[in-house]
Amino acid sequence: MRINRKAASVFAVIGAGALALTGCTSGGEGGEGGSGGDSAIISTNGNEPQNPLIPTNTTEVGGGKIVTSIFAGLVSYTAEGEIENEVAESIESEDSQNWTVTLEDGWEFTDGTPVTASSFVDAWNWGANPVNAQGAAYFFDNIEGYTPAPTEEGAELPDAPEMSGLVVEDDLTFTVALTAPEADWPLRLGYSAYSPLPEVAFEDMEAFGENPVGNGPYMLDGEGAWEHDVAIDLVTNPDYDGVRKPVNDGLRIVFYATQDAAYADVQGGNLDVLDAVPDSAFETYEDEFGDRAVNQPAAIFQGVNIPQYLEHWTGEEGKLRRAAISMAINRDEVTEIIFQGTRTPATDFTSPVIDGYSDDLEGAEVLEYNPDEAKRLWAEADAIAPYGDTVFDISYNADGGHQAWVDATTQSIANTLGINAQGKAYPTFAEALGDRENQALTGATRAGWQADYPSLYNFLAPNYLTGAGSNYEGYSSEEFDSLIREGSTAPTVEEATELYQQAQEVLLEDLPTIPLWYSNVNGVSAETVDNVVFGWDSVPLYHQITKG
């Protein structure tokens, strides 16, 4: 198959339209958000990245916004979720298993070095090598010669050889041999893990992550551009000539402690674009901002994970308790009262904007509010091992605006099951995710997922495959793994979808995640900017925003 410069609709798997915000352009006085007078720097909200800005180790939204702005991969995504070539001139295969990638000539990193086939191959090999312990390493597991990290606790990480499936043919050409045919393989290549890296990155990767050199539409605004826990300043890359050519001068991404603070700034004209309205404003923001407000479906899933390393949550007892907790949550009430209709109760583990989403999976009744059945299951679990006075807590990051729904959800659980249930706040997302990664949670945890690329596979494999990078709670099921592997190599999209849905029915039995609801993108923009468009994944297309 060939991917041309135009959007390749053959690989488009969603039908969600662009989410557009329009508004009058005005000057405005600059404030703490960095809106700043006549400057064409776009200010927006964000979170302090969890890790240094290395593409293969940036697996959360805060860092993802930045990495996708400063790096350009083989392809990028349109607002509708279609792919179009960026650095790639063509991506071709006759059998969907052996691919030839040809790059456009003339691409450079911001240090002046050329982007070559080796820039991709070396970056992918480094990211996949277990010794480098990259969170997105599993994105390369379908390439011949990939070596997975050992799953045994305390096992030494092997320093794997380069993947045999990656071969540099010349400066602008490399080939990729997959372990099995994947007709939609190019669809995933817009994810940041597949970014190229310059040679300087491999001299000191940690230092590089603090001051990365990319090839994308934006670049860091010199030394000190990233002020940790405060903001990061990006300016346009003057040598970038790809499909995401900025029409502004740069971005200031401000790391707010609370969404309410960010909302106050956009109300006052001190922040240009906000992509997450606080729940305190759900009832009023559309009336206040008019056509500069948006409430549209996006590829975002929200759930609660309960680590199986905790007492009472393993084996048959844990399975009964997870089902009981799920049936004790009144999703309809929470989404109506707390979220004012900006969320939809979940019926699967993906998103309604993804092709293959289902609302009639076998076993989905476990996601319905059923207090009598919840009590019965909890009592059955107590017969195995009494829960007693153990507190059930749900951890969340306070900088993400989650307190209201966590309080409502734990109250629903407490009222139904007669247990002590409460929220546990972490100041930042990075701190909350750190305890998840280190298996230091004392109870359940908020577990959201914003799609990396538009497919069912991307919702399922990274979170639930044995040893996957975002499978922080250590779920493992041979049956699930087998169905996902089989689906990823299915000859047709229809066959793959059927297998992925069967895999979700396994998840409904085990409940490694308790699905809660799907999120809309609820965003607003100030009168300081125009041409604000939110993409299929809820992230604004920053390069299209105008100001001045």
The verdict on residue 122 lying in a domain is yes
Q: Two tokens at 487?
A: 């689906």
Is the domain of 513 the same as that of 408?
yes
3-state SS assignment for residue 416: helix
Q: Could you tell me if 72 and 213 lie in one domain?
A: yes
pLDDT, residue 153, reads 67
Domain that holds residue 385: 297-519
Q: What is the token pair recorded at 18?
A: 């662009």
Q: In what order do the strands lie in the sheet with 98-103?
A: 88-93, 98-103, 173-177, 166-170
pLDDT at position 429: 82
Whether residues 360 and 441 share a domain: the answer is yes
Are 307 and 183 in a shared domain? no
pLDDT at 138: 87
> What pLDDT, on a 0 to 100 scale, did the predictor assign at position 25?
30
Could you tell me how many residues make up the chain?
548
Residue 396 shares a structural domain with residue 491: yes
Nearest residue to 252 via CA among 262, 260, 243, 244: 262
387 lies in the same domain as 506:
yes
Residues 79 and 536 sit within 8 Å (Cβ to Cβ): yes
Classify strands 41-46 and 250-255 as parallel, antiparallel or unpaired.
parallel
Examine residue 292 and state whether it is found in any structural domain, yes or no: no
The token duo for 298 is: 């996006």
Residue 285 lies in a domain: no
The pair of three-digit structure tokens given for residue 16, joined into one six-digit string: 């969600």
CB crowding 264-297: b at 16 or more within 10 Å, else e: bbbbebbbbbbbbbbbebbeebbeebeebbbbbb
Q: Are residues 313 and 253 in the same domain?
A: no
How many domains would you assign to the chain?
A: 2
Give, in order, the Cα–Cα distances in Å from 247 to each of 195, 236, 352, 529, 547: 23, 9, 32, 12, 9
Taking the CB of residue 84, how many other CB atoms lie within 10 A of it?
20
Residue 281 lies in a domain: no
Residue 188 inside a domain? The answer is yes
State the helix-helix crossing angle for 456-464 and 478-488, rounded to 10 degrees.
Answer: 150
pLDDT of 248: 97
Instruction: Give pLDDT, residue 184.
Output: 80
List Cβ neighbours of 156 (8 Å cut-off, separation of 6 or more): 150
| Residue 493, pLDDT score | 78
Q: pTM of this prediction?
A: 0.73
**Residue 497 maps to a domain:** yes
- Other CB atoms within a 10 A radius of the CB of residue 38 amount to 9
376 burial via Cβ count (<10 Å: 0-12, 13-18, 19+): middle
Q: 3-class DSSP state for residue 238?
A: coil
CA distance 195 to 70: 10
Is residue 3 a part of any domain in this protein? no
50 plus 126 within the same structural domain: yes
Q: What pLDDT was estimated at residue 18?
A: 39
Determine the residue type at 257.
A
Residue 242 belongs to domain with CATH number: 3.40.190.10
CA-to-CA distance for 439 and 450, rounded, in angstroms?
22
Question: Is there a single domain that holds both residue 311 and residue 417?
Answer: yes
- Asked if residue 312 and residue 215 are part of one domain, the reply reads no
Task: Provide the 10 A C-beta neighbour count for residue 108.
Answer: 15
Average pLDDT, 10 consecutive residues per value, the chain (548 residues) = 33 34 33 49 95 94 94 94 94 93 98 98 97 92 91 74 96 96 87 97 97 98 95 97 96 95 96 94 94 91 94 96 98 94 93 90 98 98 96 91 93 97 92 88 92 89 89 93 90 87 98 95 95 92 94
pLDDT of residue 417: 97
Same domain, 119 and 88: yes
- Closest-CA residue to 58 (of 123, 148, 152): 123
Task: Write down the pLDDT at residue 298.
Answer: 87
3-state SS assignment for residue 43: strand
Put residue 464 in one of left, alpha, beta given phi > 0 → left and psi -120 to 50 → alpha. Answer: alpha
Are residues 467 and 534 part of one domain?
no
Neighbours of 445 (CB within 10 A): 24
Read off the CATH number of the domain in which 369 is found: 3.10.105.10
Do the domain assignments include residue 257?
yes
